[in-house]
Amino acid sequence: MAYRWVLWGGAAVVAVLAAIVVVAALAGRPEMPAEMHWLGLGAFWGVWLPVAVGLLLTWFLGSRTGQAELHRRTETALMGHPIGGELVVLLASLVGYIVAGVGLYQLFTLVAGGVPPGMGLPVARVVFLFLIPVLLVDRGGFTVSGHSTAMPGLSMRIREPWRWLGLITVVVCVALASLDIGEVAVAGPRAALFGAAVAVAVCMIEEIFFRGMVQTRLELLMGRVPAVVLAALLFAGAHAVSGHFNPANPLSYTGFVEGAGASVLTFGLLGLLLGYVWLRYRNIWVNGLLYTGLVVAGMLPATYADQIPFS
């Protein structure tokens, strides 16, 4: 039980730090909420309005009759897992992702003139947010201790029709974000190809890690609401650091404090929506589509064209 107290203490520290950076960012730049951008969209259209509407829709559409059974199946799927130990591995992987992403950025900047510095982040993401967690937490745990690997099947093989209701949230949220696109940087087949690349290389990996692995285990130790909040703050923190060293920074700030505050107010709030959708449906396809749709909508405006590879 000691690790639960450590986890709660760590969660409190993360929450306090998030509050501090938001207050510091707003104190240093009071006009931030009015001028804030997320990718190529205004933060209101790209994040705040879709998150508010998405939370309401998810609450309204979520099947109350199926929730208890779905949560029971989730607990059964993770029965026998060393949850505390797996969380340690996952959090260490998250730290590894941040350190590797920053390190590879610096390395590519110094010695690899022909390689874009931003290529370090995709490499770090695949290795530390996907390969290592899958090998050590899922397959590794099965090999060593023989515990079940049923959670991927629960989240990917969706047989209950009501667990697809989240697609309504996806369509509505992406449609709201699209109202602020204006002139697009790319359209047609190239846009579809780019969307597929974003889904595979970024959004699905992050959703599997932050929601499918981290949040689900946090729920068993902390309860559902604290788990959603903490996973969202970890999501925002990772993007605050990686975005600072990303040439295609999704946030319109260069200062670290301002960027971290903006990350909490955008990625943190988006993480709340993604976490709630995951809590309701346990459907990784819905989560991946929602995240991908909002990211692609944010990257399509011509104002963001010079930040992306297909410009």
β-partners of residue 184 are: 301
β-partners of residue 38 are: 41, 251
Provide the strand spans (E) within the chain: 37-38, 41-42
- Which pLDDT value is given to residue 142? 46
If you ran DSSP here, which 8-state letter would residue 79 be given?
A: T
- Which pLDDT value is given to residue 1? 61
- Which pLDDT value is given to residue 154? 93
Among residues 224, 204, 81, 212, the alpha carbon closest in space to that of 145 is found at: 81
- Which pLDDT value is given to residue 232? 98
- Which pLDDT value is given to residue 257? 87
- Which pLDDT value is given to residue 243? 75
- Which pLDDT value is given to residue 144? 47
- Which pLDDT value is given to residue 287? 98
Q: What is the DSSP string of 172-212?
A: HHHHHHHTT--SBS--THHHHHHHHHHIIIIIHHHHIIIII
- Which pLDDT value is given to residue 186? 72
**Along the chain (311 residues), what's the average pLDDT of each consecutive run of 10 residues?**
79 92 90 87 95 96 82 91 91 93 75 61 90 81 56 92 95 96 79 86 95 96 95 94 72 80 95 97 97 93 68 41
- With H, G, I as helix, E, B as strand and everything else as coil, classify residue 301: strand
The tokens of 169 are what?
């949230």
